[in-house]
């Protein structure tokens, strides 16, 4: 796939991920949390970015004020136009199922385009971040609908915040310490395992439902928690860490 030299941004709820597409492939990528940006300023980002780009494309779910700030900083750094991806009725072979297309999150839309264009067959796209989204697309590119549920960290923090005795758990403990995989001998471990099991159960149930309906999709995982989920998931899956950036690279061709 050839195209412009593009700087690509996936602005999520927790972190900002970026990639540089040299016209043929994404050759550089990285990420920074919103917390680090707030503490250290945008120099912590711009010092890691190229300046010789033709265009910039952003998939933003981090809010309007963040988008405005990012566009100003990147526009000055690269001296290029900054564009924001939008959800549409149809694009790059994928057809939106929403009655009001713009209500579908742009990150979900871009990820579906990236997955469908890569595999050219039915896909089930799981983006495991602060929230987990599950979207199905058939072999003709028709979006079949989706699911949204709390991510692993969000589930764990909710248990701490909305109960009186359960501890705050930042990361799930290593499974190697468990006599029976999935069952922990500590409260922190039980919380972590439960959150992971909930997400895996949702993904496995979604795949079972699609197969019962005679679909045979490729299961594609992306997002910050994808590797943790893959480690315990009872389903064959493709891991595409840069899936949203891949979708943006495809969409960036429209800017030439």
Q: What is the pLDDT of residues 44-94, one digit of tens each?
A: 999 999 999 999 999 999 999 999 999 999 999 998 899 999 999 999 999
Q: Greatest CA separation found in the chain?
A: 57
d(CA 229, CA 147) in angstroms, rounded, equals 17
User: Which CATH number characterizes residue 209's domain?
Assistant: 3.30.420.40
- 128 and 53 together in one domain: no
What value does the mean pLDDT take over residues 170-184? 65
Any domain includes 209: yes
Please give the mean pLDDT across all residues of the chain: 92
Q: Considering the domain boundaries, does residue 23 fall inside one?
A: yes
> What's the total number of domains in the chain?
2
Residue 46 exposed, middle or buried by CB count within 10 Å (0-12, 13-18, 19+): middle
Catalytic residue among 10, 54, 107, 225: 107
User: Can 107 be counted among the known catalytic residues?
Assistant: yes
Per-residue buried b or exposed e for 76-112, using 16+ beta carbons within 10 Å of the residue's own CB: ebbebebbebebbeebbebebeeeebeebbbbbbbbb
Q: Is residue 93 part of a domain?
A: no
pTM over 0.75: yes
Neighbours of 64 (CB within 10 A): 8
- The residue out of 37, 60, 84 marking a domain boundary is 84
Same domain, residue pair 136 and 209:
yes
- Residue 212 sits in which domain range? 121-151+189-241
Same domain, 213 and 128: yes
Does residue 61 fall inside a structural domain?
Answer: yes
């Amino acid at each position: 796939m050839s195209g412009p030299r593009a700087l690509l941004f996936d602005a999520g709820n927790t972190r900002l991920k970026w990639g540089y597409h040299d016209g043929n492939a994404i050759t550089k990528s990285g990420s920074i949390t919103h917390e680090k940006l707030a503490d250290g300023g945008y120099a912590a980002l711009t010092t890691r970015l190229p300046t010789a780009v033709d265009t910039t494309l952003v998939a933003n779910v981090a809010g309007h004020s963040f988008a405005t700030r990012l566009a100003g900083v990147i526009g000055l750094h690269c001296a290029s136009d900054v564009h924001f991806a939008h959800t549409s009725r149809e694009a790059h072979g994928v057809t939106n199922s929403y009655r009001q297309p713009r209500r579908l999150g742009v990150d979900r839309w871009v990820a579906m385009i990236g997955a469908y264009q890569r595999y050219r067959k039915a896909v089930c796209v799981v983006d495991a971040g602060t929230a987990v989204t599950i979207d199905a697309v058939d072999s003709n590119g028709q979006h079949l609908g989706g699911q949204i549920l709390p991510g692993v960290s969000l589930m764990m923090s909710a248990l701490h915040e909305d109960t009186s005795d359960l501890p705050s758990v930042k990361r799930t403990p290593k499974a190697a310490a468990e006599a029976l995989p999935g069952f922990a001998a500590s409260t922190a471990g039980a919380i972590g395992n439960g959150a992971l099991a909930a997400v895996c159960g949702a993904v496995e149930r979604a795949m079972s439902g699609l197969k019962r309906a005679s679909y045979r999709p490729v299961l594609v995982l992306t997002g910050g928690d994808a590797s943790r989920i893959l480690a315990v998931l009872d389903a064959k899956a493709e891991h595409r860490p840069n899936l949203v950036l891949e979708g943006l690279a495809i969409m960036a061709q429209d800017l030439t």
